[in-house]
Amino acid sequence: YFKGYKMKRILIFLTALFFVGCASSQPKIPIADAYKFDKIEYNHIQIHNPTKFTYQSKESVEAKYNEGLKSLLKKENLLNQSSKDELKISVWHRRMFGGEATPFPSDRIGGIFVSYEIKIIRDGQILRDYILNESMYDPGFFGNLKTIVGQNKDDSYENSAIDAFVRDIVKTLEELK
C-alpha cells in the first residue's frame, strides 16, 4: 500500500513538472513600434528567357517591392528612420514560365514564387527572425484560369503578386511583435 502511494505521488509530481516546463518560455526582448528601413536585399530567379513577350526588368520588380514596402510601412506607422531597431528584408522572387521544365517552354508566366526573410536588428543583435520559403502567388479562381489557358503575357499578373507579397511581409512583421 505504501509503495503504490509513493509511486503515484512521484508520477503526479513528474507530470506537473512536465506541464510547467512546457508552458514556460524565454521572454522576448521588447522591440520598437516602428523601424529604420532603407531597402530590401533582392534576388531575382528566372531560368527561361522569353523571346515573344517582354516583361519588366528585375530592377523594376525590385523597385516595386521597395516602393510598396515603404508605402505600406508608412501607412501602418511602422517606419521611423531614427529608430534603434533596423528592419532587414531579403526577397527571392522567382518568375516561372509554363513548360519551363520541358524542351518546349512557353513565353507566358506560369507562376510567381517568393521566399523572404525578415530580421529586426538592434546594435548588431538579431531580435526577431522569420523565414518564408517558396510561397506561390494565388491569384484566385479566375486568375488561375487565366494562367491555365496561357494568358499571362504582361506585367499585371506579376504586379498583383508583388502587391500580395508586400502585404504578407508587413502582416508577418506586425505578428513578430
Give pLDDT tens digits for 93-138: 999 998 888 888 888 888 999 999 999 999 999 999 999 999 999 8
**Strand, helix or coil at 87?**
strand
Note the pLDDT of residue 19: 62
**What mean pLDDT is reported for the chain?**
88
Tens of pLDDT along 59-75?
999 999 999 999 999 99
Rounded CA-CA distance 107/151 in Å is: 10
Report pTM: 0.81
Note the pLDDT of residue 155: 92
**Strand, helix or coil at 54?**
coil
The residue among 110 and 149 whose pLDDT is bigger is: 110
Other C-beta atoms closer than 10 Å to the C-beta of 33 total: 11
Tens of pLDDT along 154-176?
899 999 999 999 999 999 999 99
Q: Which three cell numbers stand for residue 160?
A: 498583383
Decide if pLDDT at 1 tops 50. Answer: no
Rounded CA-CA distance 44/157 in Å is: 16
Q: Are 89 and 81 in contact (CB under 8 A)?
A: no
